[in-house]
Chain A
Amino acid sequence: MIPPPSEDGHQARNAWRGSLWACGLNAVGMPLDLLIARDVANMPRWPALASGAAGVLLMLVLFAQRRRPTARLARATFLVNIAVMLVALWITSGAYAAAPGRWIPFQANKLGALAAAMLAPDLVTGSLAIGGFVGMALLRYLTLHDALQERFAIGEPWTILIYAVFALALLAYRAQRIALARRMFRVRTESIATQRLARAFLALRDFTNTPLQTIELAAVILRRQHPELAPILDRIDRSVDRLYRLNNTFSVYESQIEWTEEDLTPDPTALVIGH
């Protein structure tokens, strides 16, 4: 009998999946930035490439642990991935800000905050990631020369705070949904376990009813043919009666079973021992 998946295992797998997607977005998204920045003077290529490479490396680490994913590993890889991206964005945003022409600032940070809300393994990790994207953008703005700051569009870079509010709201909503899904998963798992137990008990009862019936009827015949055996047969009757009463206690499980086609002609031994 295959045990139902554990709640922790289910949670770890979801966290692992979210982290894998985040690292994948880094691996693909950051090198794409090179295309956008191809005409930007003095734009270093290595931050985007290094960030993308780190995303690939973290994906490999996660992939290696795909059979035994843990929430801890998912959190660690997610945060390392975000940290690598922030370092790269810190460097590239300086080159963007200094480049001629208008730059809409910190687009990657805004996108990153929203993506973190959708992919973070949990509420705390997600909040840290969103805080990282927003904090880095504001800190970077403060480190730029006044001349560069004055080139920013109206409301920039403070619009990122609106993104932060939306990202945190999305994260909270998602955390609530995950908590609900966990509760439903727990109820479902308990229901499956109860069904299995009920099936095994009822199979046991059905399996024993026939031999008990045989013993009872055989005792009736013996009582008729050998009246002198009455004291011994009384003991058999009492023992059979006790077993019947035990069997009756299993009746409470009848209402908990959802019968399937496989139950139409079941093999009781298989139901009890599981194969």
Chain B
Amino acid sequence: MGHPSDVLFLDDDDDLRATFTDLVRTVFARECHGIGSHRDLIALGERALHCGVAILDINLGPEVPSGIDAYGWLRKHGYGGRIVFLTGHAASHPLVMEARRLGDAEVVSKPVSLLALTSLLEDATPAEHAPQ
């Protein structure tokens, strides 16, 4: 079972995912569930829904569900935590525009600094974001 202080990190890049997970554990002393695809998210199930913050890469590769699909899955299953989209794409890119239109998710551009990351993780108050 996940914990509200846990962080969910979805990115199709293995190295970034492993590094981000290590960083959250080492620097922020929080558990991080690093997953690489929409399928991994479904497999993680309840543990994903109990995370306090979900950081989702928008583009997960050609012809596979995107981070926006992952957002849809989380919200559909009652996830009430903070969702942050992390993207390396242009602000005018259609997927980024679509993510911005969602309203209840933030869009942050790669690269994100340690300071910005600290802000993202510390602003997510675990107690408030348990699944409904």
A interface list, Cβ under 8 A from B: 202, 205-207, 209-214, 216-218, 220-221, 224-225, 240, 244, 251, 254-255, 257, 259, 263-267
B residues less than 8 Å from A221 (CB atoms): 19, 22-23, 26-27
**B92:A255 contact, CB within 8 angstroms:** yes
A–B Cβ pairs within 8 angstroms, 23 of them: A202-B90, A206-B88, A206-B89, A210-B11, A210-B13, A210-B16, A211-B13, A212-B110, A212-B111, A213-B16, A213-B112, A214-B13, A214-B19, A216-B113, A217-B23, A221-B23, A224-B27, A259-B93, A264-B66, A264-B95, A265-B95, A266-B59, A267-B62
**Band of interface residues on B:** 20 to 34
Please measure, in the bound complex, the distance between the C-alpha atom of A210 and the C-alpha atom of B19, giving whole angstroms: 11
**B95:A216 contact, CB within 8 angstroms:** no
**B15:A263 contact, CB within 8 angstroms:** no
* Sample of 12 further A-B pairs with CB below 8 A, known A210-B11, A214-B16, A251-B90: A202-B90, A210-B110, A213-B110, A214-B19, A216-B114, A221-B22, A244-B111, A254-B91, A257-B90, A264-B94, A264-B95, A265-B63
Q: Is B102 in contact with chain A by the CB < 8 A criterion?
A: no
Please measure, in the bound complex, the distance between the C-alpha atom of A85 and the C-alpha atom of B99, giving whole angstroms: 69
Q: Is B64 in contact with chain A by the CB < 8 A criterion?
A: yes
Please measure, in the bound complex, the distance between the C-alpha atom of A118 and the C-alpha atom of B103, giving whole angstroms: 59
- With A202-B90, A224-B26 known as contacts, the answer to whether A211 contacts B15 (CB < 8 A) is yes
**Interface of chain A, main secondary structure:** helix
**A220:B111 contact, CB within 8 angstroms:** no
Please measure, in the bound complex, the distance between the C-alpha atom of A217 and the C-alpha atom of B94, giving whole angstroms: 28
By CB atoms of chain A within 10 A, which of B20, B66, B90, B112 has the most? B90
A residues less than 8 Å from B23 (CB atoms): 217, 220-221
Q: Is B61 in contact with chain A by the CB < 8 A criterion?
A: yes
- With A217-B20, A218-B19, A263-B93 known as contacts, the answer to whether A209 contacts B26 (CB < 8 A) is no
The residue that B92 contacts in the complex, of A216, A220, A259, with Cβ under 8 A, is A259
A residues less than 8 Å from B110 (CB atoms): 209-210, 212-213
The residue that B15 contacts in the complex, of A207, A214, A254, A257, with Cβ under 8 A, is A214
Within 8 A of A (CB), among B15-36: 15-16, 19-20, 22-23, 26-27
Contact with A along B57-96 (1 / 0, CB 8 A): 0010111101000000000000000000000111111110
**B61:A265 contact, CB within 8 angstroms:** yes
Please measure, in the bound complex, the distance between the C-alpha atom of A216 and the C-alpha atom of B110, giving whole angstroms: 11
Please measure, in the bound complex, the distance between the C-alpha atom of A267 and the C-alpha atom of B60, giving whole angstroms: 11
The residue that A263 contacts in the complex, of B20, B22, B64, B94, with Cβ under 8 A, is B94
B95, closest chain A residue (CB): A264
Cβ distance B117 to chain A, nearest Cβ, rounded Å: 8
The residue that B111 contacts in the complex, of A216, A218, A259, A266, with Cβ under 8 A, is A216
Please measure, in the bound complex, the distance between the C-alpha atom of A202 and the C-alpha atom of B86, giving whole angstroms: 16
B residues less than 8 Å from A211 (CB atoms): 13, 15-16
A253, closest chain B residue (CB): B90
A residues less than 8 Å from B63 (CB atoms): 265
